[in-house]
Amino acid sequence: MKHILIVVFLFTTVQFSAQTDAENLKKIYTNSLTDGMSYQWLDHLSNQIGGRLSGSLNAELAVQYTKEEFDKLGLDKVWLQPVMVPRWVRGAPEFAYFETSPGVTTNVNICALGGSVATPAGGLKAKIIEVGSYTEIEALGADKVKGKIVFINRPMQADLINTFEAYGGCSVERYAGAAEAAKYGAVGTIVRSLNLRLDDFPHTGSMGYGDLPNSKRIPSAAISTNDAELLSGILALNGNINFFFSQNCKQLEDVQSYNVIGELTGSEFPNEIMVVGGHLDSWDLGDGSHDDGAGVVQSMDVLRLLKASGIRPKRTIRAVLFMNEENGLRGGKKYAEVAKSKKEKHVFALESDSGGFTPRGFSFDCSDIMFAKIESWKPLFKPYLIHYFEKGGSGADIGPLKDDNIVLAGLRPDSQRYFDHHHAANDTFEHVNKRELELGAASMTALIYLIDTYGTETLSNNVELKN
């Protein structure tokens, strides 16, 4: 009899909490869709401020604006965390053409890659040679490469459903192509934009020279996918053509910037910290609405949505707007460094940095026991069409927090259109859908609520259980 009573008691408790959870999720989604702030905040960040390259005036305006908006929310704490960031500037717009015979030129759309050096003042003109991947440069050797511009033309793989996999497959061409070509005496590199669509937008992004001395560094630019196709077609007909490009970018001294942090202090376990975040900096060609204005405003709205839904978290929830993800990750590294030096206990971190598109679910970096717990929440997310729960990556900014005690997660929106806009001039506000953005903010809040309610199972917990 006693056992039956316990079972009935447990059963009703579980039933009751499932009902409470469903009601709380409903409140969160309703509030986000009827009274959300994320779209309004994004409008300001994108249209009143614009692109927020690290170290720029716009990046500082974004720091001020988001801090002021946090201040208006009546949070427990709001502060700026100082971090030194690199400052790379694009300078005057780039210009490029190919020349099929003397004086016969066709202009093409390029943009300097972030971190690249400039061309000589009057531009750079040389024979151009095409490779399908930067790994082919070695086989060509200095004989064929010396004195030339290397055109790295590797399209993103179209049949991968997760477009981030296709991006991962060729982002190394952009990052390391110039350093590799320079080893064999190339004078410049032109890299096909990482875009699955054929269009006229060149897509920037970070590149590096490794330990190549300054005197050996060669300029590198991205070319639009339409122009990559055109150039490749022309080269197939006539392998002996000149390419000209000019770019005026420059690496300046590091400058002071900030991560912006808002906090709701936990009511029961204030020392257990949960982070939700995105990155405040962006590239400079568009206004950074998808990458990562969306993640910034969604993270801000998580704190507001918890409050507005009458949920007082047991654990401390911090929204962290990281600076300098794009060309340095200094903000993410600084946040983790300070957390470690203060011996703060971070139990969970969630990042949104995959665009403001319709949310599908989340990926997790966690123990099997934690993942099983998360999967048990699937029915709660079902009404909101959130179904994707996979083990895998989380986000770049929260990566430095990784240890045995933390569960990391990333919001996974539909990724089919993300690379149409990523790091290009068309990453702009009108390409973000209000409801899709709000559904993402609500989904993140729902996950934060559930993790706060039921806690995390970490590797170190597992060890404790065994002992």
Q: Which is nearer to Zn ion, 272 or 292 (CB)?
A: 292
Least distance to Zn ion, CB of residue 316, Å:
25
CB 303 within 8 A of CB 264: yes
- Closer to Zn ion at the Cβ: 284 or 353? 353
Nearer to Zn ion, 118 or 411 (CB): 411
Cα distances (Å, whole numbers) of residue 196 to 161, 315, 412, 419, 425:
12, 41, 19, 6, 16
Choice between 202 and 355, CB closer to Zn ion:
355
Phi/psi at 292 (5° precision): -135, 40
Interior angle at CA 436, CA 331 and CA 158, nearest 5: 80
In the complex, what is the shortest distance from the CB of residue 326 to Zn ion, in angstroms, rounded to a whole number?
Answer: 6
Alpha-carbon gap, residue 378 to 365, rounded angstroms: 17
Query: Residue 274 is encoded by which pair of tokens?
Result: 């949960």
Smaller CB separation from Zn ion, 182 or 401: 401
- How far apart are CB 424 and Zn ion at their closest, in Å? 13
Q: Which residues are catalytic?
A: 325
Written in H, E and C, the secondary structure of the chain is CHHHHHHHHHHHHHHHHHHHHHHHHHHHHHHHHHHCCHHHHHHHHHHHHCCCCCCCHHHHHHHHHHHHHHHHCCCCEEEEEEEEEEEEECCCCCEEEEEEECCEEEECCEEECECCCCCCCCCEEEEEEEECCCCHHHHHHHHHHCCCEEEECCCCCCCCCCHHHHHHHHHHHHHHHHHHHHHCCCCEEEEECCCCCCCCCCCCCECCCCCCCHHHCCCEEEECHHHHHHHHHHHHHCCCCEEEEECCCEEEEEEEEEEEEEEECCCCEEEEEEEEEEECCCCCCCCCHHHHHHHHHHHHHHHHHHHHCCCCCCEEEEEEEECCCCCCCHHHHHHHHHHHHCCCEEEEEEECCCCCCCEEEEEEECCHHHHHHHHCCHHHHHHHCCCEEEECCCCCCCHHHCCCCCEEEEEEECCCCHHHHCCCCCCCHHHCCHHHHHHHHHHHHHHHHHHHHHCCCCHHHHHHHHC
Give which of 178, 192, 183, 188 is closest to 141, Cα–Cα.
183
Closest approach, Cβ 16 to Zn ion, in A, equals 40
- How far apart are CB 279 and Zn ion at their closest, in Å? 6
Name, in order, each residue with C-beta under 8 angstroms of 56's C-beta and a sequence gap of 6 or more.
Answer: 87, 89, 284
Nearest to Zn ion of 140, 172 (CB atom): 172
Closest CB 423 distance from Zn ion, rounded Å: 9
Q: Smallest gap, in angstroms, from Cβ of residue 397 to Zn ion?
A: 9
Nearer to Zn ion, 58 or 119 (CB): 58
Cβ distance to Zn ion smaller for residue 29 or 419: 419
> Which is closer to Zn ion, CB of 70 or CB of 419?
419
Q: What residue type is assigned to position 178 of the chain? A: A
Question: Which residues contact Zn ion (rule: CB under 5 A)?
Answer: 291-292, 353
